[in-house]
């Protein structure tokens, strides 16, 4: 052992360098989880006032892995910095394109991506706090929208940082050269921009939330997702419609879920042979059928003999079901309709069909 030389060179590095490399890797990966937890705790102190001292376990779940990956990257770089390429390989310097430059660039890109992941998870935690905090000043849907928007900005900023730091690109020149091209892109993306503004209006104005049943034009269904460009609506026949947000903002919208009643309106067409007294009796019977369904129905009832049609005597029926659930409305309407059928048959009247009588004069 006395003759053992720690400074003897093998492939351009001494034994001491190789041992330092191995120890840094070994100890670094053993304690990387501890370092990640420490960094998570320090970072949580920045969010502590925002989260009012809550949700540390969720913060640790979101941030510990990105911090751990970032620490491991730094450990690998610190370990590799103890070694150098053999002179015999004639590796180009870090300023020239080659293996050394490639390794350095890949490491910078990995570090920037790791930092982006940390910020992204921080935004995820902020959304979690807004959704689960009892005194949140904004709605969960708006929190989700802001989270997505901020994450897109993080990706864009990270992309420009990679260009500037890893590839040494002049960002000012790039942005200047994109001026005219950006104008062309903006003109081509007018609809996308209008839909993005529409989604922002939906989140701010909150005409509906995810899970609400809405009616937009001829579309009726349950809102499943509000995206940047479109809103997904599951119709009553279970098909999925993708509706542009611009169309929703520009259309008349009926939020059925925010109404505590649903209206039922239809006409009964009876034949001209119907007796007037029977018609009046039928009107009173229908009112009674609707009142029998209370409290599922309201006492706001309209049942009137309204007009003489070309082939029928028409009775207008309007009433309200005290529920915005479609199945309850259909069930109440079915029971009333069956009673109306039996009543009309009992009173000796018949439903009229679209008919026409032609009189031909005998010359």
Question: Which domain-ending residue is among 239, 258, 277?
Answer: 258
Whether residue 360 is contained in a domain is answered as no
- Does the pLDDT at position 85 exceed 80? no
Whether residue 358 is contained in a domain is answered as no
**66 and 175 assigned to the same domain:** yes
Is 237 within 8 Å of 230 (Cβ atoms)?
no
**174 and 282 assigned to the same domain:** no
303 φ/ψ angles, rounded to the nearest 5 degrees: -135, 105
pLDDT digits (tens, 9 = 90+) for 36-61: 888 888 888 888 877 777 888 888 88
**31 and 178 assigned to the same domain:** yes
**254 and 266 assigned to the same domain:** no
28 lies in which domain range?
9-188
Share of the chain above pLDDT 70, in %: 83
CATH of the domain at 339: 3.30.70.100
Least confident of 106-120, 174-188, 210-224: 174-188
Note if the bond before 190 is cis, omega within 30 degrees.
no
Tell me the two tokens of residue 122: 């921080």
pLDDT band, very low/low/confident/very high, at 319 (cuts 50, 70, 90): very high
Residue 284 to residue 273: CA distance in whole angstroms: 19
**111 and 204 assigned to the same domain:** no
pLDDT band, very low/low/confident/very high, at 332 (cuts 50, 70, 90): very high
**285 and 171 assigned to the same domain:** no
Instruction: Name the residue with higher pLDDT: 75 or 88.
Output: 75
Q: Strands, E, within the chain: which ranges? A: 9-10, 13-14, 213-216, 219-226, 230-235, 240-244, 253-255, 262-270, 302-308, 313-321
pTM over 0.85: no
Is 258 within 8 Å of 215 (Cβ atoms)?
no
**Which pLDDT score, from 0 to 100, does residue 218 have?**
83
**37 and 164 assigned to the same domain:** yes
Instruction: Name the residue with higher pLDDT: 295 or 80.
Output: 295
pLDDT band, very low/low/confident/very high, at 183 (cuts 50, 70, 90): low
Instruction: Name the residue with higher pLDDT: 345 or 236.
Output: 345
**67 and 158 assigned to the same domain:** yes
Quote the number of domains for the chain: 3
**Mean pLDDT for all residues in the chain:** 81
**245 and 307 assigned to the same domain:** no
Instruction: Name the residue with higher pLDDT: 234 or 133.
Output: 234
pLDDT band, very low/low/confident/very high, at 337 (cuts 50, 70, 90): very high
CATH of the domain at 235: 2.30.30.60
Whether residue 302 is contained in a domain is answered as yes
């Amino acid at each position: 052992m006395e003759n053992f030389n720690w400074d003897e060179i093998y492939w351009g590095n001494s034994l001491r360098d190789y041992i330092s490399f191995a120890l840094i890797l070994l100890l670094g990966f053993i304690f990387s989880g501890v370092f990640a937890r420490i960094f998570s705790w320090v970072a949580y102190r920045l969010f502590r006032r925002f989260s009012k001292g809550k949700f540390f376990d969720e913060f640790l779940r979101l941030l510990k892995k990105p911090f751990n990956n970032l620490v491991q990257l730094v450990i690998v770089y610190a370990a590799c910095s103890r070694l150098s390429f053999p002179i015999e390989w004639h590796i180009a310097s870090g300023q020239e394109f080659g293996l050394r430059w490639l390794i350095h660039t890949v490491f910078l890109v990995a570090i920037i991506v790791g930092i982006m992941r940390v910020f992204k998870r921080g935004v995820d935690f902020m959304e979690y706090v807004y959704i689960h905090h009892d005194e949140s000043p904004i709605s969960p849907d708006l929190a989700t929208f802001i989270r997505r928007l901020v994450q897109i900005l993080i990706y864009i900023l990270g992309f420009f940082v990679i260009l500037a730091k890893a590839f040494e690109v002049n960002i000012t020149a790039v942005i200047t050269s994109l001026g005219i091209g950006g104008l062309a892109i903006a003109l081509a993306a007018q609809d996308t921009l209008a839909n993005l503004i529409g989604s922002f209006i939906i989140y701010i104005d909150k005409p509906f939330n995810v899970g609400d049943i809405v009616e937009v034009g001829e579309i009726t269904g349950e809102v499943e997702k509000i995206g940047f460009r479109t809103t997904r609506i599951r119709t009553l026949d279970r098909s999925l419609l993708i509706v542009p947000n611009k169309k929703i903002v520009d259309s008349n919208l009926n939020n059925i879920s925010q109404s505590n009643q649903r209206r039922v309106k239809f006409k009964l067409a009876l034949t001209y042979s119907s007796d007037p007294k029977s018609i009046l009796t039928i009107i009173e019977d229908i009112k009674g059928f609707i009142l029998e369904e209370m409290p599922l129905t309201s006492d706001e009832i309209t049942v009137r003999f309204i007009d003489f049609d070309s082939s029928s005597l028409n009775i207008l029926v309007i009433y309200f079901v005290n529920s915005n659930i479609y199945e309850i409305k259909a069930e109440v309407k079915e029971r009333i309709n069956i009673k109306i059928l039996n009543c009309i048959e009992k009173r000796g009247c018949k439903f009229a069909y679209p008919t026409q009588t032609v009189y031909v004069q005998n010359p």
